[in-house]
Structure 1
Amino acid sequence: MTTTQARADIEELIARMGQSIIGQSEVVERLVIGLLANGNLLIEGLPGLAKTRAVKALAKNLECDFSRIQFTPDLLPSDVTGSEIYYQTEKGSEFRFKQGPIFANIVLADEINRAPAKVQAALLEAMEERQVTVAGTTHKMPPLFMVMATQNPIEQEGTYPLPEAQMDRFLMHVVITYPPVEDEVKVIHLVRREEAATNAPKDKAPKEAIPAIPQASVFQARREIVDIHASDTIERYMVDLVHATRVPQQFGPDLGRWIEIGASPRASLALDKCSRTHAWLNGRDYVDPIDVRAIAANVLRHRLRLSYEAQGEGVTPDRVIEEIIAQVALT
């Protein structure tokens, strides 16, 4: 797999996803950044904004195994990880491990905040350690493994807020908003074409399937991203942004009032990974401040706990991050 081929394949993946997700180019890019940065994503948006469709579009166009877990209040941890099943054979009885849906390349954890804490916790080891331990035996996840979790930000009935420890495991928090009016018209046309294709006569010759993007392209891109250069100045800038969330009072009275708990060192690591990936996608072999600022909100918004005063004033995490970027100097 050559550098040129890997880049062409990733660009093709983005283009194909863009054909299925109209008006959400930034969301498509963030999903691909998460894939190339080898991280897990939390995708949040109102109902009907194509959260699930976006993840399916990625899985459909990539050579991978895909599984979807619909989280519900009665879900059990074993429904996610799998369990030991008792078998009676000719040689006697034995327990065999039956893998759960978590054993896939791309796992869609749909409405993750609908499951109780014990089920959410079942994902922690898989997300962080890329393995699952059941009955004292450790089972490794595949080399390409990614959890994409969705949640509805407004519905509270029957939901369980994710604990900070689990939120911190997500590389990025991607927010999907309403598409522009012009793009929403295109959405209508897209769905109409899909329905026409589904209802086409059975005797009509099916279109030739387009080959999926190979996993080798993802692994090659990851190797190249590791070599993307980040200067000492850029590295210090990323750490300074994260550090500002921990001592906000030093960067203005408003930030001091707004932030109750700052981001962990995982935020610095995520900024580094995502900045280098953003630079690679834009054809640079070095990290520019533009790359850091472009993904700062996705990396930090779920790692900040705002004060009650900030919430009362209607201050959002994105507003806080904008102020941090404005106050922290690139030295």
Structure 2
Amino acid sequence: MTSFQDLRRSLLVIGIALIAGLLLVVLMSEEPINSARSFFLSVFSDRFYFGNLISNAIPLILTGLAASIAFSSSSFNLGIEGQVYLGAFVGTATGILLSGNLSGTIGITAMILVSFLFGAGAASLSAVLKIRMGVSELISSLLLSNGLILVVDYFVEGPFNDRQSGLAASLSLPANLRFSRLMQPSSLHTGIFFSLIVAFVLWFLMFRTREGFKLRISGKNRMFAHYSGVNTSKVIFWSLFLSGGLASTAGIIDVIGAHGRVMRGFSAGYGWNGIAVALIARNHPLFVIPAALFFAYLESGAQISSIEASVTPELAKIVQAVVFFLVTAEALAPVSFRRRRYV
């Protein structure tokens, strides 16, 4: 399990990021006190704002889990962005094409399953290239992701486009294939329970099963795991398979719960923010939940302060960049916090 020291480092990163955000708000606003209050506190003062915060965290929980399981096996799935987009589209297309033949629960289950399999298949291609030909999964997943985004854009603006809406968006899902709303009028939906269940299932898989132990051992030292009898090729394949599937599931859950249709570029940033969430959580599935809420908190705070005060929404991106930098910096290595010992 993730050590106390790793947790302390993550909390330090969050603390430094919040201080950086406060300084940026003060420096970039004409009304620093009002802006700081809007950025940091307004989200907790209103039912609508708070519900949207949790809703924004749902896809980040799933993309954070997708990144965590890949990183835990020492694999690198940089295609999460494209897999989210792909999953959103194929799941929505399934719901639209079969809406007359599927009831609510069965239809939603079918949409999620199809999305999972398509995303898992896309990530598995990178795994096969890695195992059979030695192609870096980091490069192949990233390139494939960029291609998938263009393909989905074609279908969203072409065959599945809603001409009457005048938007670069697909047709809408019928009402019976949508999640129920919570804390109305916010966009929070019952998909939050799905994401939490997935986090606990993944935690159980990684820390309470033999296969999860093999995955974590491979992540620590793949060569040691190989000579200990672990089939590391199998670990690579299944970790990327699950990673891609979870990423695509994030896309369709967001569509079913919040948007009701695929809009061009709606998921931009979900993949990269999911990677940052996984890094903050130190790849621990349960720690992904508060890390995702933290990122959603930054996004919500920036949006609210842009309405209530003179703060640009891009401020959240700057603070997120600070988090991303700090969480990967060598300066935060454990040796930096240990007391020097002299022989």
Normalized per residue, the structure richer in helix is: 2
Normalized per residue, the structure richer in strand is: 1
TM-score if structure 2 supplies the norm length?
0.25
Higher relative contact order (CA 8 A, sep 6+): 2
